[in-house]
Structure 1
Amino acid sequence: MPTAARLTAALCLLVVAFLVSGMVIENGEEGKDYGIFTQVNMFIGVVCGWWIMGKRAGRGWTAAINNGLTGIASLVFWGLFVQGVYEMFRLAMRHRFDGPFEAVIAIFELGVEYGRQLIAPEILWTLAIGALVAGLATEEAKRRWR
């Protein structure tokens, strides 16, 4: 069921995903082609905002901050997982793995490599402020437009 809280959460996480993806590309390897990295992360942000944050709105201000943190944590988790899977398939098509088990393990190794780029202070601050704003905005939308 579409609600204002779900739409607000989806838009907030879309913006956070866009900003953080741009920061990751700037801090990443020079000359690396990231392809549709930003667009995929923005889609994941919309899905996490709609399904995870939107349905949990309306439980109070403290729960709203926790909701924002949960939304950002799920965005980071699913973003790292999806990007790891995509990179694994790209490498598998070039026959970089000896077997399927090695390819599955590579998903997590590649996700950890992307996760190391998130340790930069400006990215951590963006994620923290984004979580706070997204949680409070979602709560306000739930209270204002029932």
Structure 2
Amino acid sequence: MRIGELARRTGTTARALRHYEQAGLLGSARAANGYRVYDEGAAVRVANIRYLLDAGLTLDDVAAFASCLDGDLPSVRPSARGLEIARDRLAVLDARITAQTAARDRLAATLARTRAGAAEDAEDAGDAGDAEDAGATEAARTAGDARISGE
């Protein structure tokens, strides 16, 4: 099958397939016209590559699983090296999650302070506006009293 057909079957792109090939994870033959041609097993291999990538592994990590990419990968017990890679990747993901959570908490705290400050500013502006309104009302009342009394 040609690269476009493999991309359609596996829900990936031709660019990703070329990338997997360049990383040594996927092989192809060349047709007389120079087009890449993949055997039927390539779809399983690509599905397994995507499975591992979706699990958080990198292409370099996936290379350690190269010998078992052509089978039913989710049901196969990983090798000791595979488990080590998975544990290392999990530690990296946990560290990223911790860092992202801390960044999120800082941002949320900043927004909360900003909202509280904006509410106080609005309240202060409302109080000032109320005072100005009260002052204007008092001035108008005094002026009105003066006109009535003839002062």
Same fold per superposition (TM over 0.5): no
RCO comparison, higher one (Cα < 8 Å, 6+)? 1
* TM-score, structure 1 as length reference: 0.26
Larger radius of gyration: 2
**Structure with more of its chain in helix, by fraction:** 1
* TM-score, structure 2 as length reference: 0.25
